[in-house]
């Protein structure tokens, strides 16, 4: 998934313009950060959703199983709320 090398952002004083190579370096660094944040999010979903395992790296599968799990949780909540209403009668 791309180069392992880190590209750091170029920061200049207020009012100073970035050169084209500096703009490109900033863009690359921003994109790497965005991709890493997405990867971390998928890793967190793998940890939370019981039907996922770390070997399942397909983003489509992760999203599909996450949606299924959320629907399951909603259904479980509705069942529990119904049981609570019945118990309070």
- b/e burial code for range 20-36 (CB count within 10 A of at least 16 → b): eeeeebbebeeeeeeee
Confidence of residue 7 (pLDDT cuts 50, 70, 90): low
Q: Per-residue pLDDT tens for 11-67?
A: 777 778 889 999 999 999 999 999 999 999 999 999 999 999 999 889 999 999 999
Q: Write down the pTM of the prediction.
A: 0.71
pLDDT higher than threshold 60 for residue 78: yes
pLDDT band per the 50, 70, 90 thresholds, residue 1: very low
């Amino acid at each position: 998934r791309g180069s392992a090398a880190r590209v750091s952002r170029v920061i200049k004083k207020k009012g100073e313009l970035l050169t084209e190579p500096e703009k490109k370096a900033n863009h690359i660094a921003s994109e790497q950060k965005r991709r890493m944040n997405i990867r971390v999010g998928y890793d967190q979903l793998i940890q939370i959703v019981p039907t996922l395992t770390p070997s399942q790296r397909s983003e489509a599968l992760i999203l599909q199983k996450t949606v299924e799990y959320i629907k399951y949780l909603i259904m479980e909540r509705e069942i529990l709320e119904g049981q609570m209403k019945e118990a309070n009668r």
